[in-house]
Structure 1
């Protein structure tokens, strides 16, 4: 993941994230009344995948930058917790998405 030489390979993280976003788009088109809940759950899964990939790259990052990599580990754990919260309690995800869009427009 953090190699100095360029590697051209298949990125599974991007594929899974893209598939999840396509599924969310289809749900929003065909079932708009449950769309925001589905969006919160999909964001939960994306956060879990992001957290897992960040944690899996922690050891390589620690070799490159030393103890500063602990921040990446903390962010990976926070991603996992947020993802689980969004999946277990979608209303939390709905409120968070609402606030994020509000601040984004400001």
Structure 2
């Protein structure tokens, strides 16, 4: 959104930032009010991006084959990405469940990493060690809960994206008025 934030008209008011901010807030509120549609939108977006990425891998192969001996991996990646994208287009339920589990595994991995790093930095964190450890263990429990309840995982994803849109939408509106 830096393009919108840095754009100024002669009078100093940033109309592009205002419009971007309002659109972000509307999108964030829509996601909160319609989580089922939001998940379908994520699935559709992921499917399209997967298909496009597949074709990018296939195109990259033609350039890589002269320089890298294992460039055939680009063909395999491209075909797999295209297949996943097509499967997601035809099965929203399976795709939504897959995205929910991926999100849960992401939380799980970050939680375990947080515990590991906190433990190894015990001597340098001082009194903050216990705060970091408690928060990391709490996030581990949340991640495990998300794995056993994929609907919670999908809802968490939607809420995080919603709040991100709301926060940056307000930020863009403030930037629009701040340049006066």
Question: Are 2:77 and 1:75 equivalent residues in the alignment?
Answer: yes
Deviation at 1:29, TM superposition (A): 5.8
Unpaired runs of 5+ residues, structure 2, are 1-25, 109-180
Distance in 1, Cα, partners of 2:83 & 2:64: 21
Aligned to 2:101: 99
How many aligned residue pairs are there? 81
Aligned to 1:51: 54
Deviation at 1:50, TM superposition (A): 0.4
**Runs of 4 or more consecutive aligned structure 1 residues displaced over 6 Å after TM superposition:** none
Aligned to 1:35: 38
Deviation at 1:34, TM superposition (A): 1.0
Distance in 2, Cα, partners of 1:63 & 1:77: 20
Larger Rg: 2
Deviation at 1:31, TM superposition (A): 3.7
For 1:13-53, what per-residue CA distance to the aligned partner results, in whole angstroms no more than 9, with x for missing partners?
xxxxxxxxxxxx94636743311011111100000000001
Shift of the 97–63 alpha-carbon distance from structure 1 to 2, 3 Å rule, reads: same
Larger RCO (alpha carbons 8 Å, 6+ apart) = 2
Larger deviation, residues 86-95 vs 29-38: 29-38
Aligned to 2:113: none
Question: Are 2:92 and 1:90 equivalent residues in the alignment?
Answer: yes
Distance in 1, Cα, partners of 2:61 & 2:32: 38
Q: TM-score, normalised by structure 1?
A: 0.69
Aligned to 1:61: 64
Distance in 1, Cα, partners of 2:32 & 2:65: 43
